[in-house]
Amino acid sequence: MQAVGHVDVPQAGVPYADLDEVRLNCRVAGAGSAALLLVHGWGGDSRVWEPIPFAGHRVIAVDLRGHGRSSAPEGGYRPVDLARLWPGSTLDQWWPSATRWVHRW
């Protein structure tokens, strides 16, 4: 799967990533050689990860479209639309060696 359109890679201290018509809130914190990409479940947001310490890791917590502080376009909420963020797509290009943790309801 290929990422489509303009993508700005979020860095530490930069809270948003622009992906086509969506502005994703990305919380980037910590340091270390290992990166963790954290994605919340439906109806949640990146704050679901706040109580969990990830010492020694670079942590990237993303709000999906329409969740948390990300923009809420009119459409694009089908599983296939949300899957654009997965392996071989945008987030994989940003952080190819990140371990992914996904929270599902």
Which pLDDT does position 26 carry in this prediction? 85
CATH number at residue 37: 3.40.50.12270
Which pLDDT does position 100 carry in this prediction? 75
Evaluate whether residue 3 is within a structural domain: no
Determine phi and psi for 72, rounding to 5 degrees: -125, 80
Evaluate whether residue 10 is within a structural domain: no
Evaluate whether residue 69 is within a structural domain: yes
Which pLDDT does position 104 carry in this prediction? 64
Block residue for tokens 């899957």: 83
Evaluate whether residue 35 is within a structural domain: yes
Q: What is the pLDDT of residues 8-26, one digit of tens each?
A: 555 656 677 777 778 888 8
Gyration radius of the chain's alpha carbons = 13
Task: Residue 84: give the domain boundaries.
Answer: 16-102
Evaluate whether residue 38 is within a structural domain: yes
| Number of domains into which the chain is organized | 1
Which pLDDT does position 7 carry in this prediction? 45
Ramachandran class of 59: left when φ > 0, alpha when ψ lies in -120 to 50, beta otherwise: beta
Evaluate whether residue 58 is within a structural domain: yes
Evaluate whether residue 11 is within a structural domain: no
Q: What is the pLDDT of residues 34-84, one digit of tens each?
A: 888 888 888 889 998 887 878 888 888 888 889 999 999 998 888 777 777
- pLDDT reading at 30 higher than 50: yes
